[in-house]
Structures are given as C-alpha cells and as structure tokens.
Structure 1
Amino acid sequence: MSMLKEFKDFAMKGNLVDIAVAFVMGAAFNKVVSSFTGGIVSPLIGLIFKSDFKDLKYVVKEGVADAEGKVAGEVAIMYGDFLTNLIDFIIVAFVMFMIVKAVNATKKKEDPAPEAPAGPSQEDLLAEIRDLLKKN
C-alpha cells in the first residue's frame, strides 16, 4: 500500500502535472503549426521551387510505371517532407522558448531566506563546558 501512496504523491506533485498539461498543449499546438506550415509556408516556398514543397525529392533509383500510371520500385530521398517537418520543429521550439521566457519573467522573485541568528561558536561552548566541569 505504501508504494501506491508514494506513486500518488509523486503523480500529484505540481511539476509533474504541469509537465503533463504542457505536453498535451504542445501536441495540440503542433497540429496548428503543421497546418500552418502545410497550408501557408509550404505553398509559398513551393512557388520558389515551382512544385509542391512536400513532393520535393531526390530520386536514387527510377521506378517502373505500370498501366495505371503508378510508379513502383522507386527509391527516393524525400527531402521536401523533411524540410517541412524541420520548419514545424523550429516554429514549435521558438514558440515554446518564448512561452518559457514569458513565464520566467512573470515569476515572483523570491527573497533570500533570512539567516538564522548565529549561535555561540564551538570554542564558546567548549569553554562553557570546561567552566561547568571546574565547578563540580
């Protein structure tokens, strides 16, 4: 039973719950960024390359077209898809950086803990013990 209690204490710590919420929000935000990149950024970059940005590829081995026009056996490096995902990552990373920076700026600066009053030094305590022993 104590292991269950330990797990509950661990799972309910503020930092873990914050991380879980951030993970879910990040996953949802990633979908927004992907649609932004796929719907806005890729077509604009595609204008430069005169093709759909996601379809950019380097063909290593040509495939054979069948009767329906489908290519089979082609080996290609799909660098357009990779670049799209890289742009997605950079956008998400930058936005997360800005969010963390904003949250850190709004955090209240904690005052340093007041120092405990200094007690007697070790020499003073030893002298007091010596004096008490002399009395006896």
Structure 2
Amino acid sequence: MEQPLADDLGFLLSRASGQVVRATNAALAEHGLRVRHYSVLVLACESESGLSQRELATVLGLDPSQVVLLVDELAAAGLVERQAPEGDRRTRLVVATSEGRRVRKAAGEDADAAVEGPLSLLGDTERDRLRDMLTRIWSATG
C-alpha cells in the first residue's frame, strides 16, 4: 500500500522528531526531566557565567514565557538558580548548580542511549550528513 505522506518532508521530519523526543523523554523521566528541561539544563551547564532567559528562548526557539516556566521547574528541583549579574539588577542569569551538573551528566548518558534506538538504522556517515543538513536548516532559520 502506498503511503500518501511518504514524500512530504515536513511530515517525515515531524514524525522522526516525535520518535526521538518520545524515546528521549522516556529516558529522561527517571531524572525528573523532559527534553525541553534537559535542553535548558545543558545550556546552563555549558555556560560558565550563565545565560539570560531571553538568550535561552532564542537558542531553543521558544517563547520567553515557556522558558520562565522551565527555569522555574528546574530551580524548584535545585538544578539551576537565577543570579543577578554585577551592575544589572533587572537581568537574571540561569546558572547550573552542582546538582544540576551531576543530573545533566547522568541524564545525558541516558538521553544519548535513547536517541540511539531511532537512529540505529543510520550509519555514522549518514548521521553526520543528517546532523549537517539539520544544522544548516536550523542556522538559516535561527
């Protein structure tokens, strides 16, 4: 039977993304995280001085109000904290706590393993090409 959406790249990207997100969310659940929380935590861990919520929203392509809720939940779990940079009382930087760094490491290992399932059909060269193509699309629209 012919698949009516088999040639629709938007549909295929959406379905593939959904598979990866579902697998990753399942793996992250034991850490009390979902993909969006994990993404904020990764960015906070990678930035020594922290990132503003606006910067997080821009990188993640989310509405700033969504980022506020994600940061609130991560802060309540003790994984990040908001800090005021010197000389700017209005801005708050999101900074990972030591517990956040520990959870990010453990969650990252589980997330990587979860992504392996849906991507196991691809060889290393195909994964590299897919990553490159998706990065170019993301960079051009970001």
Q: Normalising to structure 1: TM-score of the pair? A: 0.29
User: Highest Rg: 1 or 2?
Assistant: 1
Q: Which has the higher contact order (CA 8 A, sep 6+)?
A: 2
Q: Normalising to structure 2: TM-score of the pair? A: 0.28
